[in-house]
Amino acid sequence: MTRWGMVIDLEKCVGCDTCSAACSQMNHVPSGAGWRQVIPLDTPKLGNPQNGRLFLPTNCMHCGDAPCQTVCPTTATFRHADGIVDIHDELCIGCGYCVVACPYLARTITRYDEVYAFTPELLPAATDRSGICTKCDFCLPRVEAGLVQGLTPGIDAAASPNCVNFCIADAIHFGDLHDPDSNISRMIQAKPTMRLQEDLGTDPAIQYVMRADYPGMNGAAVELVPPRKQKVWHKPAAFNFILGGTGAAVYLLGLWLDWLGAPVTDWYKLLAPVLIGLGLLGLTLEAGRPFRSVHIFRGWRHSWMSREAWAAAFFLPLAAAAWLWPDSLLDWLAALAALAFLISQSFIVYRSRAVTAWNRPIILWVMVAASFVSGAGLFLLAAALFHQAVISYLAAAGLVSVLAQGGLWLVYLHGSGDKAFDLGTAVLRKPRSLLATMGLGVVVPLILLAGMLLVDLPALLLGVTAVISGGAMLLGSAGLKAQLILQAGYLRGIQAGPVR
Ligand code: SF4
Ligand code: SF4
């Protein structure tokens, strides 16, 4: 079976960017996007003995195990049998999840005003490509058309990608990686080559010819491109994690109180779906193509974002029905959906492969603990106003979740990290940030919650203490999630693997 791939000769590339210009023009790539980048490398760091310059042309690596495909909630991203990773434009909702999952900086979400910005007469016809993800497709239409004519991609120009044809230095080669006699297989056998981000196990289909004797290479992986901040998930994404997590935890805590026989009324069964619904609504409006959002249900087999949508779709009507018919099986079915929603949200963050501050197992627990802290905080606020009898239960639950959140956050911040993790979490370790997450979110509630549990406070003081601790928990936990999404999101740098 054919697997299309490339060999790019870094010793030949002169950094002229002709390939990028040709690619953008021939493929009508929106001006704000770029299917290719030619990145000047910091060669003194590599120790280039000739003191020359090196340039790294990159595009989609058409990974054998593509993180972008795994996370895509709509199945818009898919892989052809010949290995080319492609996008069904008509399914893409522009959620940006693939952008924070791709470790090669290969994807962009287009904006309406950037599509054909230099050829406005084409704008109406191009609206179908606005607000969605775009990336290199190895010029698949040319390759397929060439094959129909009996041509050989990589050998015959009419069947080869545009960047290959336009490269002025003969640095880019295209062919079949699975054919040992193909042009690129022979190059790989004859010359020292390396692949990018080799340690991630993504099996990229692009190999780079590169000498192994740069002292900076040292036979090991070396960073070629520094990390950069993610720019696709903004405040609506953070709000979804804050509101959705709080809503799910409120429901689970309410049912727990019910199960214990605590005197709690059913208001939480309505508030929880409202919070989850508001979070998802905000997120939907941030997507590039919100009116196609129904496609999000297609990718449940592999995407946690799709599973989050399914969990919400079950939870919202179940919670409403449980409010109408209390003390029934519906309560527990809704609780299961709330739990699935909470777990899905945590995995959405964790599976963002390109953001190293999110892509670590402890983040799963941080997200769950923070949700229970904000849920218990909101419940405490309501309990102070409406039913003080449950405050002691909530104080106990709050104490456990606040302790868990504080401990997990400290372990997370002191975890050993790569450069993107260190960059992203540097601001989270600053005193001002710690004052919000640890001071407001952990220390203040811990003291007040312990006071409520250990001291027999008069009703008024108990209510005031519950309000202050609940508010602190809510704000501290929301601040933690907001900082995690908005500040710590650095896309990992690109590393050269060992030269073979
Ligand atoms: S390089 Fe990025 S966009 Fe291309 S297949 Fe790999 S993960 Fe997907
Ligand atoms: S639906 Fe989302 S994850 Fe899938 S290709 Fe579009 S932007 Fe990427």
* 30 in the same domain as 142: yes
Residue 497 in any domain: the answer is no
* 313 in the same domain as 239: yes
CATH number at residue 104: 3.30.70.20
Residue to mutate (ligand 1; options 58, 107, 353; most atoms within 8 A of CB): 107
Residue 347 in any domain: the answer is yes
Domain boundary among 192, 225, 258: 225
| Structure-token pair, residue 272 | 């929880």
Which regions of the chain are under pLDDT 70? 43-52, 112-127, 215-221
Q: State residue 119's pLDDT score.
A: 61
Residue 202 in any domain: the answer is yes
Among 282, 276, 286, which residue's Cα sits nearest to residue 233? 286
In sequence order, the 6+-apart residues with CB closer than 8 A to the CB of 486 are 234, 235, 238
Q: State residue 224's pLDDT score.
A: 87
Residue 215 in any domain: the answer is yes
What is the residue with the minimal CA distance to atom 8 of ligand 2?
A: 98
* 177 in the same domain as 298: no
* 216 in the same domain as 181: yes
Sign of the dihedral defined by the CA atoms of residues 403, 409, 410, 411, in that order: positive
* 372 in the same domain as 333: yes
* 239 in the same domain as 108: no
Q: State residue 34's pLDDT score.
A: 86
* 365 in the same domain as 478: yes
In this structure, which ligand is nearest to the CA of 492? 1
Domain boundary among 185, 205, 225: 225
| Structure-token pair, residue 170 | 């003969």
Residue 348's alpha-carbon distances to 124, 170, 269, 368, 401, in angstroms, are 34, 41, 25, 12, 21
- Please tell me the distance from the alpha carbon of residue 223 to that of residue 41, in angstroms, as a whole number: 10
Residue 500 in any domain: the answer is no
With beta carbons less than 8 A apart as the criterion, state whether 137 and 52 touch: no
**What is the value of ipTM here, to two decimals?**
0.97
- Domain containing 381: what range? 235-491
Domain boundary among 225, 257, 275: 225
In this structure, which ligand is nearest to the CA of 99? 2
| Ligand 1 site residues, Cβ closer than 6 angstroms | 60-63, 66-68, 85, 102, 104, 106-107, 135, 202
* 271 in the same domain as 198: no
Burial annotation 376-403 (CB, 10 A radius, 16+ → b, else e): bbbbbbbbbeeeeebbebbbebbbebbb
Which atom of ligand 1 lies nearest, measured to the CA of 85?
5
Q: State residue 126's pLDDT score.
A: 59
* 198 in the same domain as 86: yes
Q: State residue 328's pLDDT score.
A: 84
What is the residue with the minimal CA distance to atom 6 of ligand 2?
A: 92
Residue 498 in any domain: the answer is no
* 215 in the same domain as 241: no
* 131 in the same domain as 42: yes
Residue to mutate (ligand 2; options 68, 92, 307; most atoms within 8 A of CB): 92
Q: How many domains does the chain have?
A: 2
With beta carbons less than 8 A apart as the criterion, state whether 104 and 117 touch: no
Among 172, 122, 156, 101, which residue's Cα sits nearest to residue 354? 101
